[in-house]
């Protein structure tokens, strides 16, 4: 216990209140509605082995309360609309207070039939009535729709349809008039030494096609395509030219130390023959030292 507890504004101590009995999710069916709808209460010994037993235990009923969702329930509803007076009275809507009791009493003894509330029966009744109106409309307009039906399903229209071949059609296969493959292979073998590394890798990956007297059209196309790609790769190959030896711009000797710095050159100029001449301009090596001096 705190001797001097700090009062926090807006904080409510929940321990001072009685816990609520409300349930979020599957709500329990109130006892008065369960008794009025002729539903039995849930018994764990008999209800735990049935279908949807968890829903039934949460709702507190012997069988789960679910909307009409199975084929057996739809057929049972239609039979009640035809035979039971509470579902199909002489006039007006069904007597729902009696109809729900009839339904739930039959649900206790029939498999595949679950408990229902009055609201669930009303919802399915509205759907059943809409389907019934559709069938009535189709029945009343059968004569008017007969001419349109015959026009749509006229058997004479099938006579205009193209005939179906007895055998599946085959594509036209060219067997003559191809390019000669011998020239392509000879050209490929003669240029092997000049091909670059990329072309060699490509040719190695695609392999050497086998050419014979029975070569078909597809193999011919593949051979020509491979040769064209190999030629394109060979044309794109950059040939590394050998770089010339660097020379001195003053004396044009490759062994001269002036090739790094012209002040280190002790030889006479190749143009004027003077030792003190700085030589040619490094940016204009095609001009002599006299022509460079004349431009200045």
The predicted structure's pLDDT at residue 187: 53
Give dist(CA 106, CA 98) in Å, integer: 13
pTM of structure:
0.45
Q: Report the pLDDT value the prediction gives residue 201, as an integer from 0 to 100.
A: 52
Closest C-alpha among 101, 98, 103 to residue 124: 103
**Interhelix angle 142-152/118-140, nearest 10 degrees:** 70
How confident is the model at residue 239, as a pLDDT? 64
Q: At what angle do helices 181-190 and 217-236 cross, to 10 degrees?
A: 30
Residue 120: the pLDDT is: 95
pLDDT score at 48 = 78
The phi, psi pair for 52, rounded to 5°, reads: 60, 40
Residues of the chain with pLDDT under 50: 192-193, 195, 202, 204-213
Residue 281 backbone dihedrals phi, psi, to 5 degrees: -75, 130
Q: What pLDDT, on a 0 to 100 scale, did the predictor assign at position 183?
A: 55
d(CA 216, CA 123) in angstroms, rounded, equals: 71
């Amino acid at each position: 216990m705190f001797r001097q507890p700090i009062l926090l504004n807006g904080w409510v101590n929940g321990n001072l209140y009685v816990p609520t009995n409300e349930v979020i999710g599957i709500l329990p069916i109130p006892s008065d509605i369960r008794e009025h709808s002729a539903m039995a209460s849930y018994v764990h010994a008999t209800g735990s082995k049935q279908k949807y037993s968890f829903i039934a235990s949460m709702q507190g009923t012997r069988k789960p309360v679910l909307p009409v969702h199975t084929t057996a329930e739809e057929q049972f509803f239609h039979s009640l609309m035809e035979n039971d007076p509470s579902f199909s009275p002489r006039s007006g809507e069904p007597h729902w207070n009696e109809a729900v009791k009839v339904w739930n009493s039959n649900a206790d003894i029939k498999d595949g039939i679950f408990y229902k509330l009055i609201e669930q029966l009303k919802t399915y009744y509205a759907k059943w009535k809409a389907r019934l109106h559709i069938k009535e409309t189709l029945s009343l307009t059968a004569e008017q729709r007969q001419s349109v039906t015959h026009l749509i399903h006229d058997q004479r229209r099938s006579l205009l349809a193209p005939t179906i071949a007895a055998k599946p059609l085959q594509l036209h296969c060219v067997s003559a008039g191809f390019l000669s493959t011998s020239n392509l292979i000879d050209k490929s073998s003669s240029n092997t030494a000049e091909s670059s590394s990329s072309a060699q890798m490509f040719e190695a990956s695609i392999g050497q096609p086998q050419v014979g007297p029975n070569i078909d059209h597809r193999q011919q196309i593949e051979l020509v395509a491979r040769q064209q790609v190999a030629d394109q790769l060979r044309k794109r190959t950059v040939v590394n030219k050998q770089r010339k030896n660097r020379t001195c711009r003053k004396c044009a000797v490759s062994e001269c130390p002036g090739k790094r710095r012209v002040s280190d050159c002790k030889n006479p100029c190749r143009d004027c023959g003077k030792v003190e001449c700085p030589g040619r301009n490094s940016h204009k090596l095609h001009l002599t030292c006299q022509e460079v001096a004349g431009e200045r």
